[in-house]
Amino acid sequence: MKLVMNGRRALRGGCLAAALVAVAIAVPALSSAAGTSGKAAKQSIVWLELGSGNPYWDAQHQAANAYLTKLGYSFKSVSGQGKPESQSATLRQLADQGVNVVMLNPVDPKALVPAVKYAESKGTKVLSVYASMPSANASVVFDEIRSGRVAGQYALGLLKQRYGKVSGKVGVLEGILGQPASDLRAKGFVDYMKQQGVDVVATQPTDWTADKASATMQDWLVKYPDLSMVYGLSDTITVPAVNVAERQNRLCTQQSDWAKNSNCIAFVSVDGIFLNEVGKGRLYATELYSPYWTGYAFSKFAVDLAKGKATKKLNMVDSMLVTPKNASCVTKMATDMQTKLKTFPFVGSLQTIARTKYHCSVLDTGQ
C-alpha cells in the first residue's frame, strides 16, 4: 500500500494506521549483555513516540528501522500513550534496560525533564525530536514557526484572490495543546495571519486524531456558516475535515472554487502525507515533511550520539511547500521515498533532493 493515497479511503473508519506496518508499540526487554553465542549485543536505539495509530508516525518508524538495522543497530518504536506521565515511566524503563539512545518525541518537554536526566544518569543518551529540549543530549526539529508562516503566506494569497483584498474567516485544527510541534506550527500561521488582518475565528486541538478533527469540522460548519478557510496542522487531521465539508457541499476545490460555490471552504495543510490531495484539487497546499525522509534524517543524529560524535544541541530542518504548481513532481519524489525505501538517496534537504534529483519547482526558497 502506498502511503501517498486517497485521503477519503485512507482515513475512513480510522483504518489507515492498522493497514500500515507498525514496528512495535510495547516495551520489550532489551539486554546489553552478550548473548549465549558470546557475541557482543547490538547497540539499541528506541523511538519513544507520542502515541500510536498515526500513519505519519508509523511511516517514519518504518524508515528509521530500515536505516538503523542496515547499520547494525537494534531498533524498536514504543508508544508514550499521549501522556507525559506514561512517557516518563517508559523512558525510565528503557534507561533501566540499558538502551543506548532514545529518540524522544515528548508530549510535554518540561514534564519530561526529570525522566531525561534520569536516563542520562544511567548512560542512555536522549535525542529529542520535534521539540527543543536543552536537557536532552541533542534535539532535531522542524522549523515549525517557518512552516506555519509559509502556510500563512500562501493562504493569504488565496484569500486575496477570493475577496480581492485581505478578508475572510479562518479556523485552525491543532494537534496536542502544549506539544511544541503543534503549538509552534499553529503560532507561525496565526501570528502571520493576524498581522495581515485576517480573522482567525477558531483554534481547536484534535490530539492528532481523525475523529476529533471530523467532529470539530462538523461543529464549525454550523457555528461559522461563513467560514472561508481551514488550516490543519497535519494532513491526517485536515483530510478528515475536508471529507466532512465535501459531504455538506462546502468544499472549495481547484476545479470548483468560490466562483462556483460562494459558500465553500478552502483547506491548506502541513506534513504532506496526503500530498496527492493537492494534485486532485481537494487541498490547496500542504508542506512536505515526508515521514520517510524524516525517519532517516532524525536517525542519523541518533547514530551520531550512539557513536559518541560531537552533535549540536539544536538542529533544525525545513518542510517544503507543495501547491498545484509542483504537486505532481513532489508526489513522484515522495512515492519513491516510500517504495524505494532501502535505496533512495536520502541526502540533503527536501528542497535539495527535489531540485537536483527530480527537477521539481521549489516554491519556498528563502521563506
The full set of domain ranges for the chain reads 7-142+291-317, 144-288
Contact (Cβ atoms closer than 8 angstroms) between residue 200 and residue 226: no
Task: Look up the CATH number of domain 7-142+291-317.
Answer: 3.40.50.2300
What's the confidence (pLDDT) of residue 42? 86
Phi, psi of 20 (to 5 degrees): -85, 165
Instruction: Calculate the alpha carbon distances from 331 to 151, 254, 278 in Å.
Output: 18, 17, 9
Window from 19-28, 137-146, 166-175, 194-203 with minimum mean pLDDT: 19-28
Q: Determine the length of the chain.
A: 367
Rounded to whole angstroms, the Cα distance separating 191 from 160 reads 18
With cell 494534485, the residue in question is: 279
Report whether pLDDT(13) > 60.
no
Rounded to whole angstroms, the Cα distance separating 196 from 166 reads 7
Q: Exposed (0-12), middle (13-18) or buried (19+): which is 349, by Cβ within 10 Å?
A: middle
What's the confidence (pLDDT) of residue 28? 46
Return all residues near 32 (Cβ < 8 A) that are at least 6 apart.
41, 44, 97, 98
Tell me the mean pLDDT in the region 326-343.
96
> Which residues are bridge partners to 231 per DSSP?
172, 268
What b/e readout covers 209-244, taking b as 16+ CB neighbours within 10 angstroms? bbebbbbbbeebbeebeebbbbbbbbbbbbbbbbbb
Rounded to whole angstroms, the Cα distance separating 222 from 62 reads 40
Calculate the average pLDDT of the chain. 90
User: Would 7-142+291-317 and 144-288 be classified into the same CATH topology?
Assistant: yes
- Confidence tier at 39 by pLDDT (50, 70, 90): very low
Q: Note if the pTM is more than 0.95.
A: no
Closest C-alpha to 128, from 118, 138, 143, 142: 138
CATH number of this structure's domain 144-288, picked from the four choices 3.40.50.2300, 3.40.190.80, 3.40.718.10, 2.60.40.10:
3.40.50.2300
What's the confidence (pLDDT) of residue 214? 98
What's the confidence (pLDDT) of residue 366? 83
Report whether pLDDT(34) > 50.
no
Instruction: Calculate the alpha carbon distances from 327 to 91, 219, 249, 334 in Å.
Output: 39, 31, 25, 10
With cell 484539487, the residue in question is: 281
Question: Which own/partner pairs from 80-84 qualify as long-range (CB within 8 Å, at least 24 positions apart)?
Answer: 80/48, 80/49, 80/50, 80/51, 80/105, 80/106, 80/107, 81/51, 81/52, 82/50, 82/51, 82/107, 82/176, 82/207, 83/107, 84/108, 84/111, 84/112
Question: Beta-carbon neighbour count of residue 145 at 10 Å?
Answer: 17
Report whether pLDDT(24) > 90.
no
Phi, psi of 173 (to 5 degrees): -90, 110
